[in-house]
């Protein structure tokens, strides 16, 4: 990363091999070590963004934060404004199906809330941020897990999937209408089992999947008392679509919660999400409203 930041690697937030996170601290906090430093952390605790990686629930790693250009740009932006970032791993669908990944995100939030003072972090300013499948897990955890609901101050979703069944139906419709799905997405999403199906153990739009699909839906769980949400969704995203994001934002607003949905002139994972100054301003305005860094 371009920012002068200390990375405190491989904190264990649980007993399994996947229960690991990397803590990226702004350079002003460079005296913080793996156990919080000799003084237990800097004088001013830092707000923390918990980054949950994408990859269709079946691939990906916390290291993507520093390896993928768009995410690296995002990390530099946040670190440069005083945010710490905890990039987490979680169990992928090939290791354990739903709800394992969501349970892991909840466990990471609980661990960070308890460990925050010793790490120089502010447990009252925790924000979840994910892309694609990681955005789904972030949204679902914030909507359904009681501890996360009480302690997460906001959720940012980059081209996420708030409702799996809605996304699969919209994808099928878009493909039938001629929308293009390229590369990785064509290989893994053109035919069952879809990534959503691998994650749930059943295709989410199948009649027999109604109960588990609802349990995995952030839209179904949204309502009064939920954390604020910023959803960035691509008009040309034939993978995640926009319907779920629009439904979630509307449901939150109806419950009196700040639910923002910004439709982006982009496809799934496009660089524009991380390079457009207007989208950067949307992100910073949302963070300033709910968990300011100063």
Q: What is the pLDDT of residue 130?
A: 98
Across all residues in the chain, what is the average pLDDT?
89
Q: How far apart are CA 170 and CA 51, in angstroms?
A: 26
Whether 229 shows a pLDDT value over 60: the answer reads yes
pLDDT in tens, 259-283: 999 999 998 999 999 999 999 999 9
pLDDT confidence bin for 180, thresholds 50/70/90: low
Report in angstroms the alpha-carbon separations of 77 from 3, 29, 116, 203, 204: 9, 16, 22, 38, 36
Q: Is the CB of residue 192 less than 8 Å from the CB of residue 266?
A: no
Looking at per-residue confidence, does 1 or 54 come out higher? 54
Q: What is the pLDDT of residue 33?
A: 41
Q: Which of 30-34, 44-48, 125-129, 145-149 has the lowest mean pLDDT?
A: 30-34
Q: Is the CB of residue 284 less than 8 Å from the CB of residue 78?
A: no
Q: Kindly state the average pLDDT of the residues 62-89.
A: 95
Dihedrals φ, ψ of 11, to 5°? Answer: -70, 135
CATH of domain 6-289: 3.40.50.1820
Q: What is the pLDDT of residue 70?
A: 96
Percent of residues, the chain, with pLDDT higher than 70: 87
């Amino acid at each position: 990363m371009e920012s002068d930041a200390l990375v405190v690697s491989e904190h264990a937030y649980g007993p399994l091999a996947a229960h690991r996170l990397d803590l990226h601290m702004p350079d002003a906090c460079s005296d913080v070590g793996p156990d919080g430093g000799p003084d237990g952390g800097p004088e001013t605790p830092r707000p923390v963004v918990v980054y949950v990686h994408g990859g269709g629930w079946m691939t990906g790693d916390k290291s993507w934060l520093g390896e993928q250009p768009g995410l690296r740009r995002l990390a530099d932006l946040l670190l440069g404004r005083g945010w710490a970032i905890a990039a987490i791993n979680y169990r992928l669908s090939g290791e354990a199906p739903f709800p394992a990944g969501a349970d892991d995100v909840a466990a990471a939030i609980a661990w960070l809330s308890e460990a925050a003072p010793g790490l120089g972090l502010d447990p009252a300013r925790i924000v979840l941020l994910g892309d694609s499948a990681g955005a789904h897990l972030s949204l679902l955890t914030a909507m359904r897990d009681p501890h996360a609901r009480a302690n997460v101050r906001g959720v940012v979703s980059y081209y996420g999937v708030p409702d799996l069944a809605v996304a699969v139906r919209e994808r099928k419709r878009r493909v039938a209408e001629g929308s293009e799905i390229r590369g990785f997405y064509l290989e893994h999403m053109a035919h069952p089992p879809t990534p959503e199906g691998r994650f749930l153990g059943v295709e989410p739009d199948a009649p027999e999947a109604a109960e588990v699909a609802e349990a995995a839906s952030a839209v179904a769980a949204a309502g009064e008392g939920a954390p604020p949400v910023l959803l960035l969704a691509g008009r040309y995203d034939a993978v995640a679509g926009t319907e779920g994001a629009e439904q979630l934002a509307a449901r939150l607003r109806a419950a009196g919660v700040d639910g923002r949905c910004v439709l982006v002139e982009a496809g799934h994972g496009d660089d524009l999400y991380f390079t457009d100054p207007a989208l950067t301003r949307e992100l910073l305005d949302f963070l300033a409203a709910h968990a300011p860094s100063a």
